[in-house]
Amino acid sequence: MVTWPVALYTVVAVAPSVLFWCALKVPPVLRWWRRRREPEVPAGPPIEKLAADLRRVHRLLADLPSGASAVRRYGTRQAYDALLVQACREVEVEHRLDTLPEGFDRGIERLRVEESLAERGLSVS
């Protein structure tokens, strides 16, 4: 007989704390569970579109006329490098295009990255 009032008191005293704890902890756990079950959304454009853009800008860079302005050449190279960096991120190729200054070393790195991408099945030319 004595255990009934003690059990009732325990439920009345503990229930609000348990309910508030559940109200705080359960929604984040449910969000985590839903996110875990959802398919991963790629961060960038589809790899096919990225490859087509790379080829297009590569052709633009190769076909620049000899009288093209330095600004146009620089801008086209920067666009090409940005696409190369995106492609490297997608297929997990190490690169140093972000760190190297414009010049001979960056040109060599550009060639190395193009070759690494080709080895992984993403042909640039």
Task: Going residue by residue through the chain, which has 125 residues, state the pLDDT in tens, using 9 for 90 and above.
Answer: 567 788 888 888 888 888 888 888 888 988 888 888 877 777 778 889 999 999 999 999 999 998 999 999 999 999 999 999 999 998 989 999 999 998 999 999 999 999 999 999 988 87
Residue 69's pLDDT is 93
Residue 110's pLDDT is 94
Q: Tokens 């190369």 label which residue?
A: 84
Q: What is the pTM of this model?
A: 0.67
**Angle, alpha carbons 101-107-110 (nearest 5°):** 105
Residue 112, amino acid: R
Burial class, 65, CB count within 10 angstroms (exposed 0-12 / middle 13-18 / buried 19+): exposed
Length of the chain: 125
CA distances from 42 to 28, 29, 47, 89, 120 (A): 23, 24, 10, 11, 18
The DSSP H or E segment spanning 39 is none
